[in-house]
Structure 1
Amino acid sequence: MKLELWRNATLVLNLDGLSILVDPMLGKKGSRGKMPMTESKLLNPLVELPFSREELHEKLKRIDAVAVTHLHPDHWDEDAVELLDKNIPIICSDVIADHIAEQGFTNIITVHDRLQWNNIEISTTRGRHGTGEIGEKMGIVNGFVFKKDNKTVYIAGDTIWYDEIALEIDQHQPQHIIVAGGAATFDVGDPIIMTSEDIIKVCTYAPESTVWVTHLEAVSHCREDRKYTRKQILENGLEKKCLILDDGEEVELYF
């Protein structure tokens, strides 16, 4: 298995020769505009994809399926809707399936709990995209677990650490966990994705798993960058099991 981060939460998971694109935000730098509910005047995404538009088109030709955790524009943007083949398999929860169908996609694989796809077991997982009123406004989100021959990867999606994440780890026993770091926060309310403190909790709770951190330095409401997050990891002695991916970086997943 291989994992490649494109930008933010957009990554490619290669399992048994099949490439699954997760949460595609494919627009050019600044194409999504200012982040709502913040005073920041920065235009999102903050950075370009780590390759040219021509390379993007070539990479999309090699994608076998797309997995979407939720429909916020830093995970599923207008460029993704425009650029992706409308017949490509779209893996998503039943909560967002109808909306994606309305956008013209014809091959939607709805995961209510779990299913088998090309000999890969795919499960949806729970998430909490913030707390209180902000968390309610952010809506329902989920993650995914991909399992092949007892090799298990858990993509937590946009969630903070809370008891359900521990339950998902207990149930699926993943060797690799991919979390959204950055402590994204609006001008009111608590962080809506994991802080460094949350990431440390994941590492502590799952000491046998390798934890990969994404969602850094690409959208303007994230408060923690790679330098800060790496410092927290080092101070907690977790640098061998908690790794921060750079945009464009591809890694081998060992089991």
Structure 2
Amino acid sequence: MKIHQLRNATIIVEFGLHRILIDPMLAPKNRLPPLRVFRARQRNPIVELPESTEQALGSVTHCLITHCQKGHFDHLDRAAITWLRETQIPVICTPHDANYLTDRGLNVKSLPKNHEQPNPFFGGQIRTVHSTHGRGLVGKLMEHGVGYLIEIPGEPSLYLTGDTVLSSTVREFVARHRPHLCVIPAGGARFDLGGDIIMGVDEALEFTRLAPGLVIANHLEALSHCPVTRNTLANAARHAGIESRLRIPADGERLNFTLPDGKTQQSHPEWLLVS
């Protein structure tokens, strides 16, 4: 399995002949509105896509959306909608988002209504888990979405948490399913009022301690309301003694993960090979 970090939460997951684009935000720098009004008022995204993006998009076979309504352009923006509509690449989503995406002319492939149970997925299976996109009052106003656990024979199991804080649901899901790889948002995003709406440094470190396998942190250095930097997170992980289990890819970076010969998805996550 290969994971190509593009920008923010936008990645491409590669296994076999499949290239799955996750939560695409494809707008050029400064084309999207600010996410704060009183502090750090700046148009988004605050960085361009990496040079490798155009070539990488040319290989994409499917798209997977964790959440996209209530203004969450950082997981599906107008540029991405236009690209998906023009290419008609199949867009996999939950039943909750199916009509919203269909109304925009996309080639929607909704998961079944019982999508929290394992469902067939490219010769393996996929299941969802609820994401908590903020607590308290701000949490009541948010679109919470889901995370996905993808299990493909011969590949490491992959948990994409989606935009979430470290909730009891997420903790229990990781403990029960013990994924080899987890991709988490670690930017500490917050608006002018209220607390963090995704994991920040402390929760990213705590998640890494809890996770049995490797953790990949993104949602960093791309949006004006995400104050956590890669250096800050890397330094904190080093001081906590867990830097070997936390990957913080740069935009455009590709990571390769394999299971050794003879190992299966039930193998202990520590056996994962990284290159």
Range class of TM-score, shorter chain: over 0.9
- Does 1:127 find its partner at 2:128? no
Question: Contact 1:4–1:13 (CA<8 Å) still a contact in 2?
Answer: yes
- Does 1:224 find its partner at 2:228? yes
- Does 1:61 find its partner at 2:61? no
Cα distance per residue 1:150-205 (max 9 Å; x no partner): 63000111100011111111232200011000100111111000011101111111
Partner of 2:45: 45
Query: With structure 1 as the length reference, what TM-score do the two structures score?
Result: 0.93
- Of 88-97 and 174-183, the range deviating more from structure 2: 88-97
Question: Contact 2:131–2:145 (CA<8 Å) still a contact in 1?
Answer: yes
Partner of 2:209: 204
1:213 partner letter: A
- For 1:148 and 1:117, locate their aligned partners in 2 and report how far apart those are by CA, in whole Å: 8
Q: For structure 2, list consecutive stretches of 5 or more residues without a partner in the other structure.
A: 259-271
Question: Contact 1:129–1:160 (CA<8 Å) still a contact in 2?
Answer: yes
The structure carrying a bigger strand percent of its residues is 1
Partner of 2:245: 241
Counting aligned pairs with the same residue, the percent is: 29
Over the residues paired in the alignment, what is the CA RMSD in angstroms? 1.5
- For 1:245 and 1:118, locate their aligned partners in 2 and report how far apart those are by CA, in whole Å: 26
- For 2:226 and 2:58, locate their aligned partners in 1 and report how far apart those are by CA, in whole Å: 31
- For 2:233 and 2:107, locate their aligned partners in 1 and report how far apart those are by CA, in whole Å: 40
Partner of 1:152: 157
Structure 1 residues 66 and 38: alpha-carbon distance in aligned structure 2, compared to 1, 3 A threshold = farther
User: Which of the numbers 168, 176, 180 marks the counterpart of 1:171?
Assistant: 176
Query: With structure 2 as the length reference, what TM-score do the two structures score?
Result: 0.87
Query: In the comparison of the two structures, how many residue pairs are matched?
Result: 251
- Of 217-226 and 166-175, the range deviating more from structure 2: 166-175
1:14 partner letter: E
* Partner SS, residue 248 of structure 1: coil
- For 1:140 and 1:33, locate their aligned partners in 2 and report how far apart those are by CA, in whole Å: 21
- For 2:37 and 2:132, locate their aligned partners in 1 and report how far apart those are by CA, in whole Å: 19
- Of 138-147 and 31-40, the range deviating more from structure 2: 31-40
Q: For structure 1, list consecutive stretches of 5 or more residues without a partner in the other structure.
A: none
User: Which of the numbers 179, 186, 189 marks the counterpart of 1:184?
Assistant: 189
